[in-house]
Amino acid sequence: MQSTASASPLSSHSDTVFSPNTRGFNGYVSPSEGTIPSSYFGSPQHGQIFVQSACSSPLLDNPSPKPNLLLGNLHKGSSHDILCRAKKFFNARMGSRRTRINYLVRSIQGFVEAPALAADFAEDLWSSRSAIFVKPATSNCSTRLQSLYEGHRKIKGARDQHPYAARFCYIYLEHDLEALSQSQVLVLSQGRGKMTAAFELQAEIISTTVDVVKSERKAGRGYLQLLMEGGPGFILRLGRNVSTL
């Protein structure tokens, strides 16, 4: 479930500062700050209707919101307003696809709640302290991919501790694997389907299976699209990972 609301004032866009040096990799000064109350979305069992019920709140129709136990300050009212607008926006575009709309509104919620990052946030991303990558002695496509994939595997199981690096790694993988797929030499040398040959080669380089490669690439495509269409900053602003199970 989502964490509960905090009474402390907070920018609607979360000015909580994240510094991996001093605040841990989860990066939250307070796990509850700025979070939309769980009851805003309803229980997971009723996930398909939670947005609708939230936007029936008086906050939507009243420019001077009444005191609300769930939305205790103006900032949270602002967040609430954004999510209600998101629900209406997506509803208008997507009709009755409520499960899908819930995914989208929760994604917007992530952007709203994303903790601010300290100026030095990136210094530990790839530094010796986290030691995600071991730079290959000689750099070519294979050694790069191997170094990348080893680093990716290393942090994949600890994604809450490496939320940014984990997303970056998926983008790197998708980028490098796609670049490899584009090689004309690949087609000529294999004499068969370009994608099949590419997947097989990629799997061999990183010592895994074609199915795993396909799965990894699928995971990276969303992030890459977000970066390309929105901008690099979007990847840092997806929000915290909160299990809703």
Question: Among residues 68 and 183, whose Cβ is nearest to another protein?
Answer: 183
213 lies in the site for another protein, by CB under 8 A: no
Token readout for 17 is: 């500062």
Radius of gyration of the chain from its Cα atoms, rounded to whole angstroms: 21
Pairing assessment for the beta strands 17-18 and 116-117 based on DSSP bridges: parallel
Total residues binding another protein (CB under 8 A): 97
Site for another protein in 105-144 (CB under 8 A): 106-108, 110-112, 117, 119, 121-123, 125-129, 131-136, 139-144
Whether 13 contacts 58, CB under 8 Å: no
Question: Among residues 4 and 182, whose Cβ is nearest to another protein?
Answer: 182
179 lies in the site for another protein, by CB under 8 A: yes
204 lies in the site for another protein, by CB under 8 A: yes
* Choices 31-39, 57-65, 67-75, 159-167 (CB under 8 A): range interacting with another protein: 159-167
217 lies in the site for another protein, by CB under 8 A: no
212 lies in the site for another protein, by CB under 8 A: no
Whether 34 contacts 113, CB under 8 Å: yes
Least Å from the CB of residue 72 to another protein: 21
Question: Among residues 24 and 232, whose Cβ is nearest to another protein?
Answer: 232
Of the candidates 63, 128, 107, 122, the one whose C-alpha atom is nearest the C-alpha of residue 222 is 107
How many angstroms separate the Cα of 237 from the Cα of each of 107, 136, 160, 224, 233? Answer: 10, 31, 15, 14, 7
Question: Among residues 67 and 152, whose Cβ is nearest to another protein?
Answer: 152
CA quadruple 182, 183, 186, 192: dihedral sign: positive
Taking residues 44 to 83 in sequence order and writing x for each that binds another protein by CB under 8 A, - otherwise, the string is x--x----------------------------------x-
CA quadruple 11, 14, 17, 23: dihedral sign: positive
10 lies in the site for another protein, by CB under 8 A: no
201 lies in the site for another protein, by CB under 8 A: yes
Angle between helices 210-229 and 163-181 (to 10 degrees): 110
